[in-house]
Chains A and B, each alone.
Chain A
Amino acid sequence: MSEPSAVTTPPVLPPLRTPALSEIFRALLEADFTVQLRNNRALLLSFALPLVLLFALFANKRGIVLGDPRFRVAAALTLGMASIAILGYSMTVARDREKGVFQRLRVTPAPTWTIMTSRLLVQVAAILAMALVLLVAADLFVGVSLTAEAYLLTFICVIFSSALFLGVGQALAGLVKSADTLNAVGRIAYIPLFALGLFGHSTIFGNTFELISRWSPGGTVITLLSGAMNPSSWNSDTWLALAVSAAYSAVFAGIGIRWFQWGAR
Chain B
Amino acid sequence: MTSEAPPVTGLALQVKDLRVSYGPKRAVDGVSLDINEGEIFGLLGPNGAGKTSTLSAIEGLLQPTSGSILIRQVDVRAHPVQAKALIGVQLQSTSFQSELKISEIVKLYAGLYGVPLSKPAIFDRLTEIHLGDEASRRFSQLSGGQQKRLSLLIATVHDPPLVLLDEPTSGLDPQARRQLWDRIQGIRKSGRSILVTTHSMEEAQSVCDRVAIMDYGKILTVDTPAGLIEKHKNDPNVLAVARGQVTLEDVFIGLTGRELRE
A interface vs B, CB < 8 Å?
1-21, 23-24, 26-28, 30-31, 34-35, 38-39, 96, 99-101, 103-111, 263
Contact = CB atoms under 8 A, between A and B. Distances in A.
Top 7 A-B pairs, shortest CB-CB distance: A27-B111, A10-B38, A19-B114, A10-B191, A99-B95, A11-B191, A38-B99
Nearest to B55: A107
Contacts of B86: 16
B67 interface: no
A7 B96 contact: no
A11 B89 CA distance: 21
A23 B38 contact: no
Contact of B3 (A14, A17, A106): A17
A11 B84 CA distance: 22
B104 A31 contact: yes
A20 B82 CA distance: 11
Contact of A4 (B94, B110, B192, B207): B207
B15 interface: no
Contacts of A19: 1-2, 85, 111-114
B97 A7 contact: no
Interface of B: 1-5, 8, 36-40, 59-61, 81-82, 84-87, 89, 91, 93-100, 104, 107-114, 116, 158-161, 178, 181, 185, 190-192, 203, 205-209, 224-226
A107 B178 CA distance: 26
Contact of B191 (A13, A30, A108): A13
A23 B1 CA distance: 11
Contacts of A7: 36, 38-39, 209
Given A1-B203, A10-B38, A23 B114 contact: yes
A24 B116 CA distance: 11
B112 A17 contact: no
A200 to B, nearest CB: 37
A206 to B, nearest CB: 47
A19 B132 CA distance: 27
Contacts of A21: 1
B60 A17 contact: no
A111 B81 contact: yes
Contacts of B178: 1
Contacts of A11: 38, 190-191
Contacts of B4: 15, 17
A157 B36 CA distance: 57
A110 B97 contact: no
A100 B185 CA distance: 27
A1 B84 contact: no
Given A13-B161, A104-B96, A106-B61, 20 more contacts: A1-B181, A4-B40, A4-B208, A9-B38, A10-B191, A12-B191, A13-B8, A16-B160, A16-B161, A19-B85, A19-B113, A21-B1, A23-B111, A24-B112, A28-B112, A39-B99, A100-B94, A107-B61, A109-B82, A263-B61
Contacts of B1: 18-21
B209 A4 contact: yes
A20 B114 contact: yes
B228 to A, nearest CB: 12
Contacts of B225: 4
A9 B188 CA distance: 11
A264 B182 CA distance: 33
B36 A35 contact: no
A13 B192 contact: yes
A107 B97 contact: no
Given A17-B3, A18-B1, A1 B191 contact: no
Contacts of A8: 38
A109 B112 contact: yes
25 contacts: A1-B178, A2-B206, A4-B225, A7-B36, A13-B161, A17-B114, A18-B114, A19-B1, A20-B114, A24-B111, A27-B111, A28-B112, A35-B100, A101-B96, A103-B61, A103-B91, A104-B91, A104-B94, A104-B96, A106-B60, A107-B60, A107-B61, A107-B91, A109-B114, A110-B112
Contact of A109 (B61, B84, B207): B84
Contacts of B104: 31, 34
A60 B54 CA distance: 63
A240 B161 CA distance: 57
Given A16-B159, A100-B93, A31 B100 contact: yes
Contacts of B224: 4
Contacts of B2: 17-20
Contacts of B112: 19, 23-24, 27-28, 105, 108-110
Given A27-B107, A104-B96, A16 B85 contact: yes
Nearest to A114: B112
